[in-house]
C-alpha cells in the first residue's frame, strides 16, 4: 500500500519542481523586474541622501511619489509590480539571480563613477561595455 502512495508523492514532487522555473505570462520577466528594482533602489537612495534631511517632508509620501514615477517611466502598473514582486520573493532562486545582477550592476556603475572622463567606458543599449579608446 505504501509503494503507490510513495510513487504518487514522487510524481507530484517532480511535476511541481519542473514548473518552478516557469514565469507566468502576467508576471514581469526577470530583466524588466531587475531594471525596476534598480531604479527603485536608486530613487530610495536619492531621497535618503537629498530630501530626508528636511524634517517637514514625509519620507513615506516621497517614497510613494518616487515609486509611482519609476513605475510610470517603465510603463508598469502598481498591481503588476506588486504581483511580480510577490512572485519573485516567493521563489528565492529566481530572486537571488535578480539581486546578484543588481549588485553587479551597482558595482560596475560605482567603479565607472570614480574614473576620469577619458577612462570611462561607454555602454551600448545592449548593456555590452566597449572601449572608447581607438
pTM of the predicted structure, to 2 decimals: 0.64
Helix axes 92-113, 78-89, angle to 10 degrees: 110
Residue 116 vs residue 16, higher pLDDT: 116
**Per-residue pLDDT tens digits for 48-78:** 887 666 655 677 788 888 999 999 999 999 9
Q: Give the pLDDT mean for 33-57.
A: 79
Share above pLDDT 90 across residues of the chain, in percent, rounded to a whole number: 26
Label residue 87 exposed, middle or buried (CB < 10 Å: 0-12, 13-18, 19+): middle
**Digit-coded pLDDT (tens) for 80-97:** 999 999 999 999 998 898
Helices (H), the chain: 2-19, 30-46, 59-74, 78-89, 92-113
Instruction: State the residue for C-alpha cell 560596475.
Output: 108
pLDDT value, residue 18: 44
Amino acid at each position: 500500500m505504501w509503494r503507490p502512495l510513495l510513487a504518487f508523492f514522487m510524481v507530484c514532487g517532480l511535476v511541481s519542481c519542473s514548473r518552478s522555473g516557469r514565469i507566468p505570462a502576467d508576471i514581469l520577466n526577470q530583466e524588466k523586474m531587475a531594471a525596476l528594482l534598480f531604479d527603485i533602489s536608486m530613487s530610495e537612495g536619492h531621497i535618503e541622501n537629498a530630501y530626508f534631511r528636511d524634517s517637514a517632508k514625509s519620507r513615506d509620501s516621497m517614497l510613494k511619489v518616487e515609486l509611482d514615477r519609476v513605475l510610470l517611466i517603465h510603463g508598469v502598473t502598481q498591481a503588476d509590480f506588486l504581483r511580480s514582486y510577490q512572485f519573485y520573493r516567493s521563489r528565492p532562486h529566481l530572486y537571488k539571480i535578480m539581486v546578484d545582477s543588481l549588485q553587479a550592476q551597482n558595482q560596475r556603475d560605482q567603479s565607472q563613477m570614480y574614473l576620469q572622463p577619458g577612462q570611462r567606458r561607454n555602454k551600448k543599449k545592449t548593456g555590452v561595455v566597449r572601449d572608447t579608446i581607438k
